[in-house]
Amino acid sequence: MKITSLFLLAAAFHDGAYAADDAVKIVAQNWSSAQVMARIAEKIITEQLETPAEVVTVGSSDSFPQLAAGDMHLAFEMWNSGRTPEQLALIDSEDIDRVGELGVTGQVGWFVPSYVLDNNPELASWEAYQSEDTAALFATDSTTPNGRFLGVDPTWAQHDTEIISNLGFPFVVEYSGSEEASLEALANAVANQEYILMYWWTPTAAVTQYDLKQVALPPVTEECTASAAAGDGKYSCAYPED
């Protein structure tokens, strides 16, 4: 399955509620690739279509109701794997149109630098993370005796707290707050050869730059898919491909 949005389009955009002299409002979500695509779209719309356009930074969770209301018109790179049931309902509503796919396969997951697996090959798979000894390798001053799992933006829809709880990992989620802050934490960890377990995704340059390896979590099941749709807190699988 591909990342499902070349872009999402507010239905009001083509239903007559949009005036030709209004600026096309493009969502720039709070991660780098979505912001780049928003700027490219702005350039195409303004220079090639000779239509005013405006890029607006909008949090991931806020973009869907704004698209549905027609306050924003265009959004790129919507990852289904990180969506709440309420957000997915808006995406599937008559108020938002799915226009196309990006054409690449995206994958959210748990990642560690390669030296972690060089030192501890068993950490390539989820079972090893049930150990208190493993948790101690990833513990910080604020999480000891538990290990730290580094999340990104807490407003993104994520399953990590559920996965940790349901699989019995002695870890806690700490959020960096942003993609930039996670990259800074990763760079510092790699520079000092420290252990770090983090939420990340492919394709991104950081995977190659820091030689990140994805940890194998349990395969996605129908039960996990249903849990994600219901938002019932029972999710215990890997993230699905986007």
- Predicted confidence (pLDDT) per residue in 146-169, tens digit: 999 999 988 888 899 999 999 999
Q: What is the pLDDT of residues 199-236, one digit of tens each?
A: 999 989 999 999 999 999 999 999 999 998 888 999 99
Higher pLDDT residue, 59 or 108? 108
Residue 2 has a pLDDT of: 33
Residue 15 has a pLDDT of: 52
Residue 174 has a pLDDT of: 98
Q: What is the pLDDT of residues 170-208, one digit of tens each?
A: 999 999 999 999 999 999 999 999 999 999 999 899 999
Higher pLDDT residue, 72 or 91? 72
| 170 CB-near residues (< 8 Å, 6+ apart) | 130, 131, 132, 135, 145, 146, 147
Q: Are 197 and 215 in contact (CB under 8 A)?
A: yes
Instruction: List phi, psi (to 5°) of 241.
Output: -65, 150
DSSP line for the chain: ---S-SEEEEGGGTTT-S-TTSPEEEEE-SSHHHHHHHHHHHHIIIIIS---EEEEE--HHHHHHHHHHTS--EE----GGG--HHHHHHHTSTTEEEEE--SS--EEEEEEEHHHHHH-GGGGBGGGGGSHHHHHHH--TTTTTSEEEEE--TTS---HHHHHHHHT-SEEEEE-SSHHHHHHHHHHHHHTT---EEEEEES-HHHHHTTEEE-BPPPP-HHHHHHHHHT-S---SPPPB-
CA of 205: how far to CAs of 37, 82, 173, 200, in Å?
A: 16, 20, 24, 11
Higher pLDDT residue, 139 or 27? 139
Residue 9 has a pLDDT of: 52
Q: What is the pLDDT of residues 33-42, one digit of tens each?
A: 778 888 888 8
Quote the CA–CA distance of 183 and 187 in Å, as a whole number.
6
* CB-side neighbour CA atoms (13 Å) of 43: 6
Residue 8 has a pLDDT of: 55
- Tokens 């720039």 label which residue? 28
Q: Is the pLDDT of residue 13 over 80?
A: no
Q: Residue 22 corresponds to which tokens in the numbers above?
A: 């209004």
